[in-house]
Structure 1
Amino acid sequence: MRTQAGVQDAATRRRGASMRLILAAGTTETALVDGISAAGETPELMAHTPPGDAEILVYGEPVRSPVTPVSPTGCVTPAAVTRAVREVCGFPVTVVDAGLAAPTAAPTVDVDAAPGADVRAERAVPNASGIFERARSLGTSLPDDEILLGETVPGGTTTALGVLTALGEEIGVSSSLPTNPLDRKRAVVDEGLAASGLDPGDAAGDPLTAIEAVGDPVQATVAGLATGALAGGTAVTLAGGTQQLAIAAALRHAGVGGPVSVATTSFVAADRGDDLDAAADRLDLDLRVSDPGFDEGDHVAMERYCAGEVKEGVAMGGALSLVPDRELPAVRDRFVAACGRLGVGDVVDTDPQSATDGTDGEETRDVTAPPSEGR
């Protein structure tokens, strides 16, 4: 069931309850497949995207990471949106190292997750069960009434498609840019399933097998956190788009019942509306959609989001679901300020098509700011 997040929903959810945003940050070599991800011009830069996102969320700008994830047309990472919401609404953040390939200055909780392999390998996440169990233990121990679970992992929509296909779920996936290279993703997933000796649907009822074969370590982490939190009586919102639908499907295939929410953005809903609603109904999810009102702004980053770039990530939709309608102008102002700190100006004179030619993710441009806590 879909609901439009707004003032009533936000006020009801936050009154008298403790809430925490948990960001699972990791990597998968699937992002290095040609035409799959634009999260960095080189493997070295791509590895810094999740650490940079974590630092922006925690400190307001990169501290140790040498790059800021920004598309060639000026579409800044959704971490800047989530950070803007945090500055307006205020909530604690925990970052979980879910397979980082580069260090981050953000404090992290370790679940002993290594970076994921290419899904075309025999096993993309060999230690998926161990990651899941350690994350489940962490989730069970959380003292919060509610958690928002977000992710940052370049190539994550491809691994989401892999897990959904292995589970036999016919749910399409979105892309971070207007041109979605879905055929390329499907071809990569087909190769991955073949390498693992699986056909579509073979892992139905066994989500850890699906993640091990064609997933990524972030999925194992988020699924474990959600499972443990729900068992401990903590309400769970999966903050994101189609990548979080893959997690929701994994939970249901594992027999996890009870209420689960997915909170995403209007940009994902516009791109995958019918699929999103059908999946939410089939998986018995409370679907919340939030519109940041970027069409009311004239900053280049807002324009690029409205044009269909990026759409979601770093718990953007979940964070926006916390914002009362009257506070959205303040969030937009903070977002513009964050863009200024990150070196993203009002005008970027580039060809938008250069960022949409069969890619999936943010491009990591070398835009750095002086290290500070960004408050």
Structure 2
Amino acid sequence: MGDVTLVVVAGTTETAAIDGISAAGADPDLRVHTPSADLEIVASGRPAPGSPVPVSPGGCPTPAVVTRAVRELLGTESLPAEFVDAGLGAPTAAATRGVGAAPGGDVRDPEPVPGAATVFERARSLAPDLAASGSGDDAGGEGTTELLVAETIPGGTTTALGVLTALGERAAVSSSLPANPIERKRRVVAEGLDASGLDPGGAAGDPIEAVRLAGDPVLAAVAGLLVGCADEEVDITLAGGTQLAAAAALARHAGVDRRLPLATTSLVADDPTADLPALAADLDLTLAAADPGFAEGDHPALAAYARGEAKEGVGMGGTLALAERAGVADDAVRDRIAAVTDRLLAERAPRDPDGSTPTSGGDPP
């Protein structure tokens, strides 16, 4: 598989509180905790005691479950993980690297990311450290040969749409909801651009301005990492869907012309409302889509993913591609996803006074 380090860039945006925009959390109050808990799940397999298990309003678990499942199958030493705090709105027990980011504002505000330039530059300077942090150094080698960069930020497809529109790129994104509210997102973005005094395409060639006026801090950080990796000639794969395509657009507008692979799920790649293959072609991204056969599983979490909830995020598509590259069978991936989900939910289930987990159904004693 080679030396690969997973880098999850996590943050928040007030955009996630807009009604009907995001399913990354059971409700708006819990949504701010989702990225923090996602990092904990990827890092240790469970959220910290005070963190909720992120689920959608329909009960679909966070895609962090998939990423954790793949890490367990490959061995966590074989897929080390680094975490970047790009505007977390709640504490996390996972060890993070900072880039000076505050939580993002509402994309309808005139300036939702006032610190975009600082976040971009600090993330850019972080790239060499991340590239040197992989398993190769522990063995006296030369460090990581590839960074697999992922994101977690509720509401991030709407801010990605804002950035794409500001740059004058194809204005289409996916959604964590089964039915993509794309027209609602476009109205929200139009309102934000109007408040910022920015026309569609008005930030072409100026990625910092696009993020500052229409984006979120995670996009600023990922774009900075992309530019920093280009500076250092570090191989990088974007592990995500339309949000990371938007980050790639920012990098292209910053002058990055190197090969940029984008590894996502078939759920995003096949979403006609997202139009990801066309966007990837526009941006000269090498697109790959993983499909572990969620519909073939009989676990409720797998069924929820197959319905199109939580189509991508937290490196879901990229880590599934790594599992495929390593020769891990799809049924093993599905079984481990089910096991991780059951473990998380069992640990948080209410318990009877005797310490047992209550169950439903069955014959009375």
TM-score w.r.t. length of structure 2: 0.87
Preserved contact between residue 145 and residue 234 of structure 1 (Cα < 8 Å)? yes
Deviations along 1:257-290, one digit per CA (max 9) or x if unpaired, are 1111100001111214882222222211111111
Residue 63 of structure 1 corresponds to: 48
| Structure 2 portions without partners, runs of 5+ | 133-143, 356-365
CA distance in 2, matches of 1:242, 1:367: 34
113, 124, 147: which one aligns with 2:112:
124
Preserved contact between residue 9 and residue 221 of structure 2 (Cα < 8 Å)? yes
105, 124, 129: which one aligns with 2:93:
105
Residue 334 of structure 2 corresponds to: 332
Amino acid at match of 2:315: A
74, 81, 85: which one aligns with 2:59:
74
Preserved contact between residue 26 and residue 57 of structure 2 (Cα < 8 Å)? no
Amino acid at match of 1:343: L
341, 344, 349: which one aligns with 1:342:
344
Residue 35 of structure 2 corresponds to: 50
| Structure 1 portions without partners, runs of 5+ | 1-13, 346-365, 371-375
10, 14, 26: which one aligns with 1:25:
10
CA distance in 2, matches of 1:18, 1:25: 23
CA distance in 2, matches of 1:273, 1:121: 26
CA distance in 2, matches of 1:184, 1:342: 33
CA distance in 2, matches of 1:127, 1:235: 27
Q: 1:32 to 1:81 in 2, by over 3 A?
A: same
Preserved contact between residue 207 and residue 254 of structure 1 (Cα < 8 Å)? yes
Amino acid at match of 1:281: A
Residue 11 of structure 1 corresponds to: none
Partner-residue secondary structure (3-state), 2:61: coil
CA distance in 2, matches of 1:156, 1:65: 24
How many residue pairs are counted as aligned between the two chains? Answer: 335
Deviations along 1:132-181, one digit per CA (max 9) or x if unpaired, are 00000001332221001100000000000000000011241111111111
Amino acid at match of 2:108: R
Amino acid at match of 2:317: G
Residue 286 of structure 1 corresponds to: 286
CA distance in 2, matches of 1:116, 1:299: 35
Q: 1:183 to 1:65 in 2, by over 3 A?
A: farther
Preserved contact between residue 146 and residue 235 of structure 2 (Cα < 8 Å)? yes
TM-score w.r.t. length of structure 1: 0.85
Higher relative contact order (CA 8 A, sep 6+): 1
Tell me how far 1:308 sits from its aligned partner.
1.3
Structure 1, 132-141 or 157-166: larger mean CA deviation: 132-141
Residue 70 of structure 2 corresponds to: 85
CA distance in 2, matches of 1:271, 1:215: 22
CA distance in 2, matches of 1:300, 1:47: 25
Structure 1, 138-147 or 88-97: larger mean CA deviation: 138-147
Are 1:38 and 2:23 matched, yes or no? yes
Amino acid at match of 1:277: P
Preserved contact between residue 242 and residue 274 of structure 2 (Cα < 8 Å)? no
Residue 363 of structure 1 corresponds to: none
Partner-residue secondary structure (3-state), 2:323: coil
Amino acid at match of 2:72: E
CA distance in 2, matches of 1:41, 1:67: 10
CA distance in 2, matches of 1:301, 1:123: 38
* Larger Cα-atom Rg: 2
Once the two structures are superposed, the pairs formed by residues 1-375 of structure 1 within 5 Å of their partners are 14=1, 17-40=2-25, 43-90=28-75, 91-141=79-129, 142-143=131-132, 144-272=144-272, 275-324=275-324, 325-343=327-345
CA distance in 2, matches of 1:85, 1:206: 37
Q: 1:231 to 1:271 in 2, by over 3 A?
A: same
Residue 136 of structure 2 corresponds to: none
Preserved contact between residue 226 and residue 248 of structure 2 (Cα < 8 Å)? no
Preserved contact between residue 55 and residue 62 of structure 1 (Cα < 8 Å)? yes
Q: 1:316 to 1:68 in 2, by over 3 A?
A: same
Q: CA RMSD in A?
A: 2.0
